[in-house]
Amino acid sequence: MSWHGLVWFCIVFSLFISGMNLYSQYTTRYLDTSLLNSFFLFLYLYGTAVMVVNANVEYARTFCVGMLIQRAAVFLMQGGVFVLLARAKKHASIECFILLTSMAAILIGRFIDTDRGYAVVLIFLAVWENFYFVFIILFVRIKHHELVPLNIDHFADRVGAMVMVVLGESIVSAIINYNKLSESQRTTEYYEAMALTLLLTYAVGLIYFSIQPPRDLHALRRHAYSGIGFLFLHKVLAISLLAMGVGIKFIIDAVINPDPEESYLSRDQVWLFFGSLGIALISMILIRVLHFWGRPSPHDPPLMKQIKSGWWGGFFILMWTPLLCGYFTLKASPDAVDPFTMLGLSVACVFGIGIIETIITHILVSMGQDSVVPVAARSPRSIRATSYGSAGDGPMACLLSDDEENVPTIEDVNLN
């Protein structure tokens, strides 16, 4: 482990996520079943495969080739929209500019063809492709009728699938990578560590899906800034969950190590595991903030308001518990930490959060706050909604204006 390796890990994985996002910006807006689009999709998948097998720092040159193929495939998709759909021409031109800038940077790196040159190009691309919205906000003026709305449900499903794929890496780290262990290594301790690992990843998945709101209250419907924050926080969440999977691999390696002196974890490994888990939980509470913050119901009784306030305040504190666990664990044992201590503390943190949320949810449901129902608010078009299966704000109310009530979807747009 090293800081250099951590930075490289974050840069490379952010480029994988931005590649997925660039493709999702296309597929959640347009439906193209042509054979030509299928060929472009094949190029996209091939470029992704080249990136995957060359993700190590020593293969940066070939990694950039895979990126170039992937970005070129999406550019060709957006180029077809620009040529064929007059309604979407302005929007597609912005996407094409973003992709052209990325491809130009990769070609410059190929022309320089040095390790330092590739490093500079990859850092630039990680910043550009993950923060290009700043450029759009500052320099691009696009009218409302020139925008092409994305399918919010489709996009939310895509980022949710990304989170599940990354969580699956933790399962790979705990189980699949160790399917060739010798009989002597298949100890009771190994199966106990496997069970705790699965319990941890399962609980993290439960918490993630508990923060999903009804579609009318989704952050992507609130404002452009909340939508940008929703996507950015999912990138942070995915990187932190993948880092947690690496931490789990270190834990399992320590459990199966036959040398008693090597069956402990170092300070850096402890911080990698607890730090990534803490960042993941903080990201999830911030995603929930984007969905629900500023949408209280003015007609909730005092007791319900107290429950909601207690939930927000309590969980803002609880999300920091993994970081506190890492700090106090190293205080107690600064040189070597037992892997089961780490797993036990992490499972207790995550499942503790899940149990508390379940209790609060039960209280809210017992008070009749378990569905989307009309409420007698100041406007006849107020709605009250609960997030699926979670305590959170329980019921929320938001006032919908004429424009907000008829939020356009892809089915509403005539692109001809």
Q: Considering the entire predicted model, what is its pTM?
A: 0.79
Task: Please provide the DSSP assignment of 106-124 as one string.
Answer: HHHHHHH-SHHHHHHHHHH
Tokens of 226: 């909340």
Q: What percent of the chain clears pLDDT 90, i.e. is strictly above it?
A: 16
pLDDT at position 297: 64
pLDDT at position 373: 45
pLDDT band at 173 (very low <50, low <70, confident <90, very high): low
pLDDT band at 213 (very low <50, low <70, confident <90, very high): confident
Mean pLDDT, range 14-32, rounded to an integer: 88
**b vs e for 168-203, b when ≥16 Cβ sit within 10 Å of the residue's Cβ?**
ebbbebbeeebeeeeeeeeeeebeebbebbeebbbb
pLDDT at position 254: 85
pLDDT at position 403: 41
Mean pLDDT, range 48-55, rounded to an integer: 90
If you average pLDDT over every residue of the chain, what do you get?
Answer: 79
Of the candidate ranges 15-24, 295-304, 341-350, the one whose mean pLDDT is the lowest: 295-304
SS3 of 279-303: HHHHHHHHHHHHHHCCCCCCCCCHH
pLDDT at position 386: 37
Mean pLDDT, range 114-141, rounded to an integer: 84
pLDDT band at 179 (very low <50, low <70, confident <90, very high): low
Tell me the per-residue pLDDT of 285-308, one tens digit each, with 9 for 90 and over.
899 888 877 655 666 677 777 777
pLDDT at position 370: 53
- Give the span between the Cα atoms of 274 and 319, in whole angstroms: 12
Whether 392 shows a pLDDT value over 60: the answer reads no
Whether 175 shows a pLDDT value over 80: the answer reads no
Top-ranked range on mean pLDDT: pick from 323-327, 363-367, 399-403: 323-327
Tell me the per-residue pLDDT of 155-166, one tens digit each, with 9 for 90 and over.
888 888 888 888
- Stretch (H or E) spanning 374: strand 373-374
CA 181 from centre of chain: 32
- Stretch (H or E) spanning 373: strand 373-374
Tell me the per-residue pLDDT of 253-283, one tens digit each, with 9 for 90 and over.
888 877 767 778 888 888 889 999 999 999 9
- Give the span between the Cα atoms of 289 and 234, in whole angstroms: 13
Q: Phi and psi of 396, rounded to 5°? A: -125, 155
Mean pLDDT, range 43-59, rounded to an integer: 89
Whether 385 shows a pLDDT value over 50: the answer reads no
pLDDT at position 398: 33
Tokens of 314: 């309590």
User: What's the count of helices (H) and strands (E) in the chain, helices before strands?
Assistant: 14, 3
Whether 1 shows a pLDDT value over 70: the answer reads no
- Give the span between the Cα atoms of 298 and 163, in whole angstroms: 34
Tokens of 264: 């402990």
- Give the span between the Cα atoms of 4 and 11, in whole angstroms: 11
pLDDT at position 240: 92
